[in-house]
Amino acid sequence: MADKTAEDLLAELGVEIETPKAAPRSAQEERIIAGFEDIQRFVSEHGRAPRHSEDGDIFERMYAVRLDRLRALSEARALLEPLDTQGLLGEAMTEPAPEASDPEALLAELGIDPEATDDVTTLKHVRPTAERKAAEEIANRTPCKDFEKFRPLFESVKQDLEDGTRQTRAFELKSEIEPGRFFIVGGQIAYVAEKGDEFTQDYGDRDARLRVIYDNATESNVLMRSLQRALNKDDAGRRITDPAAGPLFSDIAGDDDTESGTIYVLRSRSTEPRIVENRDLIHKIGVTGGKVETRIANAANDATYLLADVEIVATYELFNINRVRLEALLHRFFADARLDLEIADRFGKPVRPREWYLVPLDVVDAVVKAIQDGSISTLKYDPASAALKPRDR
């Protein structure tokens, strides 16, 4: 006959054994446990505890803060240690805990609203599901395998931002999200490379799947609504304007226009053989806020003007524009055609003038018009043929 346990013997004697029931938990304790279970799920999915990282997902950072609080609060540790199968509470307390007799302080430390309902999932500062999914979609990026074909686009946009050809504006409308558009989200430039067919969400909104490329060589396959939410929630989220400079130049100033200066094109009267041979091709291109005639009055004594008199062959008036950025744009555009010439100044010191270019006057005129109508980003100057050509994309 098999040995009987004490429980078996008591049962034969008619003694009923009652299993002690666990004491009911308060709503506050349930919320603390629910918050800890969120952290446990994160550890199960990622194989590590949440970290404090500015580059990390906002929820990981929230879990890391919450875990620090739980480790520091003796009352929370006592409640959670029997559930801590992953050893998350093993570190010593690093912060003084609020008084155990103050449950509201305890909840505040955990980011829980004491005035909330008894729903254990109600936490302060936790975003709605739709917003959380949007953030997760943006965060879930993969390496962009064909990034090399997009790299020139990002380099061009960054340069356009530097010289003022493009600008950043606050994001306003979902209609702005179209293929070929650039945005700044999460501190990175994002390019909408592709847009799928539009469809209607369960809640009635129109949406579409996008292929978005980022300037750190990653990409994501996100919904248009998700990108829209991410831009709206990002305090630094911006759209990048198209390279259309607008009506920058005019012979007649409007009532609200402010004159900003003049683009000038000069031709040298130098007798230096190389200048004489290419006089109709060599031009100095610059921008001034004053009168061009005043600027060139002392040209014959200034190495910047090749120590010779110059003639003004073209001018373009500017209104409401940053002169410095425009001049930088012009010089960058013609950089490959810069005249490589060294001359001695009045004191015999060698000087290399920087604003002289081997560019025909009609090309300069075409470039100014291209800046005016916004098409400059599609063009490049070919010094070999002394002509404008489409820019490779």
Amino acid at 68: D
Give 202's pLDDT tier (boundaries 50, 70, 90): low
**Among the ranges 9-18, 161-170, 265-274, which has the highest mean pLDDT value?**
265-274
User: In terms of C-beta density within 10 A (0-12 exposed, 13-18 middle, 19 or more buried), how is residue 42 classed?
Assistant: buried
Neighbours of 198 (CB within 10 A): 10
pLDDT of residue 190: 92
Give 6's pLDDT tier (boundaries 50, 70, 90): low
pLDDT in tens, 299-316: 888 888 888 999 999 998
**pLDDT over 70 percentage in the chain:** 73
> Radius of gyration (Cα) for the chain, nearest Å?
35
Tell me the C-alpha distance between 43 and 110, whole Å: 18
pLDDT in tens, 311-369: 999 998 877 777 777 888 888 899 889 988 887 777 778 878 888 999 999 999 999 88
Q: Mean pLDDT in the chain?
A: 76
Backbone angles phi, psi at 147, to 5 degrees: -65, -30
Tell me the C-alpha distance between 103 and 15, whole Å: 42
Average pLDDT over residues 41-52: 84
Q: Higher confidence at residue 252 or residue 101?
A: 252
Structural domains of the chain ordered from first start: 27-126 (no CATH), 142-240 (2.30.30.30), 259-390 (no CATH)
Q: Which of 138, 132, 143 is nearest to 227 (CA)?
A: 138
β-strand pairing of 238-240 with 343-344? unpaired
pLDDT in tens, 96-155: 434 444 445 444 544 444 444 444 333 344 444 444 444 554 556 889 999 998 998 898
Tell me the C-alpha distance between 303 and 44, whole Å: 71
Tell me the CA end-to-end span of the chain in Å, nearest whole number: 89
pLDDT of residue 359: 93
Mean pLDDT check: name the lowest of 7-16, 159-168, 247-256: 247-256
pLDDT of residue 264: 93
Q: Which of 251, 199, 281 is nearest to 372 (CA)?
A: 251
**pLDDT over 90 percentage in the chain:** 15
Whether residue 24 is predicted with pLDDT greater than 80 in this model: the reply is: no
Average pLDDT over residues 22-33: 76
Neighbours of 222 (CB within 10 A): 23
Backbone angles phi, psi at 156, to 5 degrees: -65, -45
